[in-house]
Amino acid sequence: MNIPGFDYHRVPVADDVSLNVAVGGSGTPLVLLHGFPQTHLMWRHVAADLAADHTVICPDLRGYGDSDKPADTDGETYGKRAMAADAVAVARAFGHDRFALAGHDRGALAAFRAGLDHPGVVTHLAVLDVLPTLDMWEVMHGTLGVVGFHLYLMAQPVGLPERMIEACADDFFGHFLDAWTQDPGAIPAEVRAAYLRASRAAVPSVVADYRASAFADRAHDEADRAAGNRLRMPVTVLQRDWGDVLPYDAEALWGAWAPDLVHRTFDAGHFVAEERPDVVTGALRDLLTRR
């Protein structure tokens, strides 16, 4: 499936890694990074709206969708540092040395890392419904681990989680599409099928992405926290109101990383770009006016 009106390209971003990228519109550039267990299609409503006055660039992350899925040889191949560098390379391939960046879920973690690693490149940063990796691991204690069971499963050594998930891939990935959605109609049957098809073909790389968050990504966040590194650009965080399910102060956690922060909670499921595209497009337009 494609986003109507968008052109598609294969973009080399690193040695032996090319990404599937949808591009539409014209104007100031905005890169949108998708989450789990999805592809760039999650941005279909938001991207079409924003393409009226922006160049909107929507890649499939490495390891997802129709992008390449290199073998993870060092625990860093699917680290968010690599994915952040991919986003920078994609934008440059279309002539943009500086750009705004928004991400959801896994893509939000890559966007966060891009903001820290490439502060002169990312002009504005939007994050949808995650915590920074380090903070996530620090607040996920006790029975909260039930909510995030997949984080622990996919952090296990190579082999076991891959085999377990491949044995029931559609049930595994479908669980999150169902459990995390407040409005099931927001993900139509054909889009859901596309997500499941893409995820089922990407189990090793999806697991490697999550495994990297338990080790490489967490270590990178720890180093930045110790060094006092912060996000220098205007930042907007959209966070689902989890209530008593995940009792933490998300605004305070994000505020420690982002001095210029707008934090908003919303009434929707996790997949806010599909359930409430009006909220996301409005928040992004507001963000892009900040200096």
Q: What's the rounded Cα separation, in Å, for the pair 86 and 1?
A: 22
In single-letter form, the type of residue at position 262 comes to V
The pair of three-digit structure tokens given for residue 231, joined into one six-digit string: 């996000």
| Residue 65: closest CA among 111, 135, 18 | 18
Q: What is the pLDDT of residue 75?
A: 95
Q: What is the pLDDT of residue 141?
A: 82
- Domains by residue range for the chain, with CATH: 7-288 (3.40.50.1820)
The pair of three-digit structure tokens given for residue 141, joined into one six-digit string: 């204690």
Q: Please, which contacts does 196-201 make with residues 24 or more away whose CB atoms are closer than 8 Å?
A: 196/37, 196/169, 196/170, 198/39, 198/64, 198/65, 198/66, 199/37, 199/169, 199/173, 200/169, 200/170, 200/173
- 36-83 tens-digit pLDDT: 999 999 999 999 999 999 999 999 999 999 999 999 999 999 999 999
Q: Which residues of the chain have pLDDT under 50?
A: none
Are 173 and 207 within 8 A, CB to CB? no
Q: What is the pLDDT of residue 245?
A: 67
Query: Is the Cα torsion angle 104, 142, 150, 224 positive or negative in sign?
Result: positive
pTM higher than 0.95, yes or no?
yes
In single-letter form, the type of residue at position 5 comes to G
Q: What is the pLDDT of residue 247?
A: 73
DSSP result, 190-254: HHHHHHHHHHHTTHHHHHHHHHHHHTHHHHHHHHHHHHT----S-EEEEEE--TTSS-S-HHHHH
Q: What is the pLDDT of residue 144?
A: 81
Question: Which ranges in 68-168 belong to alpha helices (H)?
Answer: 80-93, 106-117, 133-139, 144-147, 149-153, 160-167
**Residue 208 φ/ψ, nearest 5 degrees:** -65, -35
Task: Measure the N-to-C terminal CA separation of the chain; round to a whole number of Å.
Answer: 36
Q: What's the rounded Cα separation, in Å, for the pair 11 and 213?
A: 25
Q: What's the rounded Cα separation, in Å, for the pair 102 and 42?
A: 13
- 5-27 tens-digit pLDDT: 999 999 999 989 999 999 999 99
| CB neighbour class for 130 (10 Å; exposed up to 12, middle 13-18, buried from 19) | buried
Q: What is the pLDDT of residue 142?
A: 85
| Residues classed as catalytic | 105, 270
User: How many other β-carbons are positioned within 10 Å of the β-carbon of residue 235?
Assistant: 26
